[in-house]
Amino acid sequence: VPRTGEVVFDKVTFTYPGAEQPVLADISFTARRGTTTAIIGSTGAGKTTLISLIPRLHDATSGTVSVGGVDVREAQLESLWARIGLVPQRPYLFAGTVGSNLRYGREEATDEELWDALAIAQGEDFVRAMPETLDSPIAQGGTTVSGGQRQRLSIARALVRQPDVLIFDDSFSALDTATDARLRAALDREVTDATVIVVAQRVSSIVDADQILVMEDGRIVDRGTHSELLQTSPTYQEIVST
């Protein structure tokens, strides 16, 4: 099994169990290691559903999804999940401490590794400012930290696991644009080997992506870089202007 996190969708269709209409139709793309693939599109376009097929939260109805050259259906779930860091659209924190929340998924991580992940996720300053830093208590649901702090802890948690595939589902939306920009610059600098997939609402979060997939009604209607799409995609132009 090659230790590469290349993600390939080949003619993927998906219908939720019991639903009549497919939510994803004819999705094909390759997300290469060391590159960033962005997915943008209006609410309900199917972005969250698409990324949920990678760790097999759902299985494709037809077509194949593969990670590192292996069909995810043939991969052992535990080893598949060990390779994927997914930051969900609604970040969740457990009752415990900052440290125990960050270690979820990799219990053996050292404090230094937690700080490294926090530095990239732009969470270092606020955790250092907490009275007990990594040992500071977190209430169930993370109600003692702000939405933006919760998002950054959730991002740091994914980084601690050092996955081959890093997926951010609208993970930068609660961050102000300056923090968003610093975080993406740090990711670019520090996370160079992973396959990064970014679902975003804000175009400013994805202008530097190696490829952008524009989704509409469960389909990829256009693809390219930011500057290519500005020239070729009316849908993208509309997203940019709103």
Residues 168-187 that bind ligand M5T (CB under 6 A): none
- Contact letters (x/-) for ligand M5T, 80-99, by CB under 6 A? ---------x----------
For residue 108, CA distances in Å to 3, 105, 113, 190, 198 come to 21, 9, 10, 21, 27
Total of residues contacting ligand M5T (CB under 6 A): 12
> Which residues on adjacent β-strands are paired with residue 87?
168
Can you tell me which residue has the tokens 């991969």?
A: 75
Nearest to ligand M5T of 4, 48 (CB atom): 48
- Does residue number 44 form part of the binding site for ligand M5T (CB under 6 A)? yes
Residues 21-50 that bind Mg ion (CB under 5 A): 47-48
Total of residues contacting Mg ion (CB under 5 A): 3
Give the one residue of 6, 12, 46, 98 binding ligand M5T; rule: CB under 6 A. Answer: 46
**181 burial type by CB count under 10 A (0-12 exposed, 13-18 middle, 19+ buried):** middle
- Does residue number 47 form part of the binding site for ligand M5T (CB under 6 A)? yes
Nearest to ligand M5T of 43, 227 (CB atom): 43
- Contact letters (x/-) for Mg ion, 57-96, by CB under 5 A? --------------------------------x-------
Given the rule CB under 6 A, which residues bind ligand M5T? 16, 19, 23, 41, 43-49, 89
